[in-house]
Amino acid sequence: MKTISTDKAPGAIGPYSQAKVAGGFLFASGQGPIDPVTGELITEITAATEQACRNCQAILEAAGSDLTKVIKTTCFLKDMSDFAAFNEVYARYFTGKPARSCVAVKQNPKDFLCEIEFVAEV
């Protein structure tokens, strides 16, 4: 098993890693809309989704993989009324149409508008 860590995505805010590789698969922790350079939390849904997707992309690249190898995503939205705007951005990044679950959550540790976790081939 290998731990993946990159400064091109936000660091973990607790006792966990950005991602792990095991058995030819990458298991990534949820990526929210935090700019890894400034630490800024993005609070508009379109820009927030863009940042969350870029953070996913950075972790994949650090593991030697890419967005086309994503098998499954789990997406968390603060408000389901953001679903259409989220989907519009998400579809530009996850063009391979991985399997997906998308649910609304009441609360998360940083009050993210959206968060994406994923499993990918490496």
Dihedral (Cα; 43, 49, 50, 54), 10-degree rounding: 110
Under 8 Å between Cβ of 34 and 84: no
Under 8 Å between Cβ of 77 and 61: no
**Active-site pick, 53, 56, 75, 102:** 102
Burial 54-79 (b: 16+ CB within 10 A, else e): bbbbbbbebbebebebbeebebbbbe
| Burial of 16: CB neighbours in 10 Å, binned 0-12, 13-18, 19+ | exposed
Catalytic residue check, 102: yes
Which residues are the active-site residues?
A: 102
